Homo-oligomer: A and B are copies of this chain.
């Protein structure tokens, strides 16, 4: 079945296609189309089941009203919620979002930027994987609207919005200290990304502020490429090799989940044998007895701010915007695990 175009409507209504376009875009008044003609066109269009071809519109106007969102892994609840919130937010501005995952792989990230460019997205929201500096810098140089989220690249002149990682970890550490824990291990990932470094910095800073000497043996950097089981084993051996540990701080939710499995495997009790706190909240943390204390990122605020910044750039492509650097506060959710 052929689709109906504006031309078909025009010939059916006995007018020019420009007239149809004016009417359908509500410019009938402005273009002084008579009410008679307007009604007829509207009628015909409705009966024919006409809907506009967005591709043609975008091609002609040069605006696709679409944003590209590149996250690390859409399967992770944090990014999934972020994506959904961003989508809802963008809808307010009349924009659609297409999203995709890098899996923290720079070459996949490069491909995705390419793909989005080809599809003529109006702006980019990116959680950059390591080594994506060059590709993102290129976007910036071409004056494409770009906002980085969740992390940033110091070398790139792009606006970013993220949680105040160091501050958030410090807050969590303060809570642990207040509960009397002193021997606190830190489990992070071996990825060379800004936000992970900031979290580790938060940990180190909190220790030194409390006057506790840094013990590198109880900082574990799990290789990102490790399989689930290898990682669980790694965390388990950290616990076995350091029986003095009173608490474990996980730098991200999926590490926390792996940690729960390790602790479970060692038949240790939370919080009696080991206290647990994790960055990024998760359904499991709310549910897993006795409830896992976590640091909840202000996902909604991040999404809102990021979209707002991007929109500003999109709607105003002439002027160059100063790089905005936004850091938002996290929220500590205290549960039974500490």
Query: Which residues in A have some Cβ–Cβ distance to B below 8 Å?
Result: 1, 51-56, 58-59, 64, 74-75, 77, 80-81, 83-84, 96, 98, 114-115, 117-120, 141-143, 257, 260-261, 264, 283-284, 287-289
Contact = CB atoms under 8 A, between A and B. Distances in A.
7 contacts: A51-B114, A54-B120, A74-B80, A75-B77, A75-B80, A257-B287, A289-B289
A54 B98 CA distance: 15
Contact of A117 (B51, B56, B74): B51
Say what secondary structure dominates the interface of chain A.
helix
A247 B180 CA distance: 41
A186 to B, nearest CB: 22
Contact of A120 (B1, B55, B81): B55
Given A98-B98, A118-B51, A143 B74 contact: no
A287 B284 CA distance: 8
Contact of A56 (B59, B77, B283): B59
Given A74-B80, A260-B287, A287-B261, A55 B64 contact: yes
A131 to B, nearest CB: 20
Given A55-B64, A75-B77, 4 more contacts: A55-B59, A55-B120, A56-B59, A74-B80
A77 B257 CA distance: 15
Q: Which 8 A-B pairs have the closest CB atoms?
A: A54-B118, A1-B142, A55-B59, A54-B119, A55-B55, A1-B143, A55-B58, A284-B284
A84 B77 CA distance: 14
Given A1-B142, A55-B119, A55-B120, A75 B81 contact: yes
A150 to B, nearest CB: 18
Contacts of A53: 59, 118, 120
Contacts of A288: 284, 287-288
A253 to B, nearest CB: 11
B283 A52 contact: no
Contacts of A289: 264, 289
Contacts of A141: 1
